[in-house]
Amino acid sequence: EKGMVDRVTPRKELPAVLGMAAGEGFVAAARAALERNVPLIAFTAAGGARMQEGALSLMQMARTTLAINELKDAALPYIVVLTDPTTGGVTASYAMLGDVHLAEPGALIGFAGPRVIEQTIRETLPPGFQRSEYLVEKGMVDRVTPRKELPAVLGSILTTLMMGRGRKAA
């Protein structure tokens, strides 16, 4: 039996957006984690909401947040691995609600992109703004981890978080 549930945005969906299908996939992964009493790991790679779906797309932000709250109520770890890019509605919902946030080197992470922000505030942003390394310095991300190191780092985190629960994390 696998000791965790993961939700990865399939490559065919990239550049992904948060629509009904993506929201349903995330909620299904959270339900599976709850049913099996195991952690959930989400690998994010997405932009905004799927505007063609209108309000149904925007509802996915709330649905994914409620699913995460159920994991928290069950004291199950929720770990997020932020990949490039993670922006828009995904950042405004499930990407930034983890117990632990890992990010790949150089990943763009934020709600609006740097160009939109600069045009809005009419100022130049600091170098590296919204990149994973900058966000670690500001406390928004816990650690920058290259992809090849993720298995060992995730294993260590899961072992620590699942200590005392009577089962192995992975």
Domain ranges of the chain: 16-161
Which CATH superfamily, name and number, covers 16-161? 2-enoyl-CoA Hydratase; Chain A, domain 1 (3.90.226.10)
Average pLDDT over residues 130-149: 97
CA separation for the pair 71, 90 (Å, rounded) = 18
Average pLDDT over residues 71-75: 97
Backbone angles phi, psi at 13, to 5 degrees: -85, -10
The predicted structure's pLDDT at residue 34:
97
The predicted structure's pLDDT at residue 36:
95
Backbone angles phi, psi at 140, to 5 degrees: -85, -20
Stronger pLDDT, 164 or 126, i.e. the higher one: 126
The answer on pLDDT for 3 being more than 70 is: no
- Please give the mean pLDDT across all residues of the chain: 88
Average pLDDT over residues 108-122: 93
Q: Are 71 and 32 in contact (CB under 8 A)?
A: no
Q: Are 114 and 141 in contact (CB under 8 A)?
A: no
